[in-house]
Every structure is written in structure tokens, then in C-alpha cells.
Structure 1
Amino acid sequence: MFTKIRTTALVFALGLAPALATANPMVGGAPMLVERNIVENALNSADHTTLVAAVQAAGLVDALQGEGPMTVFAPVNAAFEALPAGTVETLLQPENRPMLQRILTSHVVAGNLSGAEIMRRARASSDGFFHMQTLSGAPLSAQVRGGGLWIYDQSGNAGRVTIGDVNQSNGVIHVVDTVLLPR
């Protein structure tokens, strides 16, 4: 008990309490708690209901609740709505599960990559891009553009990171405004 009190006092004395209290941004109107895993936090985001439904339909809940660490580029509902009419409904059908799994795992990279680290690697590369391999095997590339972080899929489509560094117990989420598609 005494150690806990001393630790708490030290945190406040060093001025770290405000930083710890605001470590994670709100996503979809909900607090994202660092002690929760990727799925547990996504379930609370009003902006990720389509993504959650797709993860469930693809049978990927257990994988995204796994130990990690993993970096997830999480598309918002509006990103799915921007796909051609009927695409999401088609992908959610059981016979299209392998395709849905490939698309969703094309948003996941092994490791815990902060936005600052991704940007640092992109700036340090000879071509201005940080190239990543996703769990599906499809490549993603990150670029710093206009001070923001952009993620490119295999076809060259770009999604902007709108909320970065949402830390989870098993990795980190970066919210993107586009569904990243493999070929």
C-alpha cells in the first residue's frame, strides 16, 4: 500500500498524471482504454460498427484479441460506405469469408508502430515511404504529406490517418478514412 501511495505521489510530483490521463484519444465518442485489447475498444467506438461486424463475420475476433503486438489501420464506417454500393453486404456473406479475411488482414501489421515511428521511417527512406508487410501478405506504404500520415494500399489508394496512436493492451490502432484493399 505504501509503495502504491509513493508511486502515485511521484507521478503527480513529476507532472505525469495529466499526460497519463490523456494518453489515448477518444474514438467514435468513446474512451479507448489502454488496458483493453483491440476488439474490446473497437466495440465501444460508434465510428467502427461496420469494421466490428466485418471482423466478426470474418472470424478474426480471436486473432485481434491475441497477444500481439500488432498495428491496426482501422477504417471508419464512412470509409466502408464509400465503397461501391453492395460491396460491404457482399463481403459479409459467408461464401466471401476468405476475401473478407484478406481485406481485413491487409489492415494489420505485426509490431507496435507509433505514428511518430512510422513518420520517422518514411522520412528516413530514400523514396519517402515506409514500406510495411501486412498479415495478409499485401504491402502497405506510409508517407508524410502535408504534415499528416497517409497510408497507401497495394493499388495506390491513399487513406489519411485521422486519429493516431490509440494504444491497446495488444498493440496500437491508427484510425483511417479509407478501406485499404489488396489486389
Structure 2
Amino acid sequence: MKLRKIQNLLFVGIAILALSSCKDQAKIDADKKAMEEKVAMEEANVKAEEIKMKEEAKQKELMSTSITAVASNNAELSTLVSAVKAANLDKMLSEPGSYTVFAPSNNAFEKLPKKMSIAELGKPENKELLTQILQYHVVSGVITSDKLVAAVKGANGKYTFTTVGGKDITASLTGDKIILKDEKGNKTEVVLGNVKASNGVVHVINNVLLMK
């Protein structure tokens, strides 16, 4: 009788130990899983931060070689840069994208009549007109000099394209020079072409293009 009682107690003890062991193992497994999840989350956060830093560095590099930056580094385009900032277009021309800008030189702006001078256009009440004029000098996509020449030749000497402002410009050739005609019939010449930027290309022109 005593032996059976001892055996029963032994069985109970073993069962308790086994149950306790299972609970300990479950806790160990749960702690291990929690630790693995924490490590994985930390690694993901580190990776996300690295990606963010790389993107920010890339963005900074692109902005430093953008159309706005390229124009800002050219003393002959200082008036244009001031106009672009006044019209709040500098951000658009600094961000990633694909644009062709026909950039009037400082001398080109000086040729404008007094009522169209940059001093007048820069006034708050003339901001909309200034914006329209500047948009008339911007085309979506990259059009290099070679592409423009090829387009002119392929269009029997006159190639018309549309700016981001929805207005047209007609390109033609005089010898090896690219000539642009605006909607008013005025002509300007590309005096410096293919100035590369991270978000497009700049062609310097010697007259301001005007819409009807």
C-alpha cells in the first residue's frame, strides 16, 4: 500500500516537473521569438534610415546640378534666375524631371520695352504675366540641339513645338544656327546650346520669347 502511494507521488512529481519544463520551454521559445522580432525590426529601421539618407543625398546632388542651379552659376543668366524665383518656378526647375529651357540672357531682357522690363514684370501685380512668359521658355522633355536640328530638317525647314504653357514656338535653321520664332513673329537665336543639367538641358538665347 505504501509502495503504491509512493509510486503515485512519484508519478505526480514527474508530471509536475514535465509540466513545469514545458512551461519553461514555452517561455524560452516566446522570449526567443520576441528577441528575433525585435532584432528584425531594428535591422529594418536601420535599412530604412540608410535608404532615406541615400535618397536625401541623391536629391541634394540632383538639386546642385539642376536647371536652376546651372542657371544660377551662369552670370549671364542672373536676370532670368531672379525672374524664375519671383514667379516661384525655381522649385519646379530644381526637382527631378525632364525639361528643356530656352534661357534668355541678361542682354535679352534688357532689349524688352520698359513696360515689359524685368522691374515691371517682377511686381506682384504682374506675377501671372511673368509666369506665363517664363513658361513659354520651358518645354517638357529633353530636346538637345542635335534633336532640334533633326526635327527641323524632318519638317521641311520649320518645326513647331509646344511649351509647358500651351503656346507654340517654331524652330528653323539659318546655316548651322538654330532660330526660334515666337507667336508675335519675333526671332531669337540659340547662342549656347546643350548646357546639361540633372533634370534637363538649357539653351541660351539672345531675345525673350513673347506670346500673343
TM-score (norm 2): 0.68
Aligned residues with identical type, % of pairs? 38
Moved over 3 A (4+): none
Secondary structure in structure 1 of the residue aligned to 2:150: helix
Which residue pairs with 1:81 in the alignment? 110
Secondary structure in structure 2 of the residue aligned to 1:63: coil
Q: Determine the C-alpha separation between the residues in 1 that align with 2:97 and 2:151.
A: 21
Q: Determine the C-alpha separation between the residues in 2 that align with 1:85 and 1:41.
A: 28
Q: Determine the C-alpha separation between the residues in 2 that align with 1:124 and 1:173.
A: 22
Q: Does 1:105 align with 2:140?
A: no
Work out which of the residue numbers 29, 43, 52 in structure 1 matches 2:72.
Answer: 43
Which residue pairs with 1:60 in the alignment? 89
How far did residue 85 of structure 1 move?
2.3
Structure 1 residues 1-183: aligned runs within 5 Å: 36-86=65-115, 87-126=117-156, 128-183=157-212
**Count of residues in correspondence between the two structures:** 150
Q: Determine the C-alpha separation between the residues in 2 that align with 1:132 and 1:67.
A: 22
Secondary structure in structure 2 of the residue aligned to 1:64: coil
Could you give the per-residue CA deviations for residues 69-100 of structure 1, whole angstroms, max 9, x where no partner exists? Answer: 10000000000000112522110001111100
How far did residue 146 of structure 1 move?
2.0
Higher strand share: 1
How far did residue 115 of structure 1 move?
0.3
Q: Which has the larger radius of gyration?
A: 2
TM-score (norm 1): 0.79
Q: Determine the C-alpha separation between the residues in 2 that align with 1:96 and 1:66.
A: 25
Higher relative contact order (CA 8 A, sep 6+): 1
Q: Determine the C-alpha separation between the residues in 2 that align with 1:101 and 1:134.
A: 13
Secondary structure in structure 2 of the residue aligned to 1:42: helix
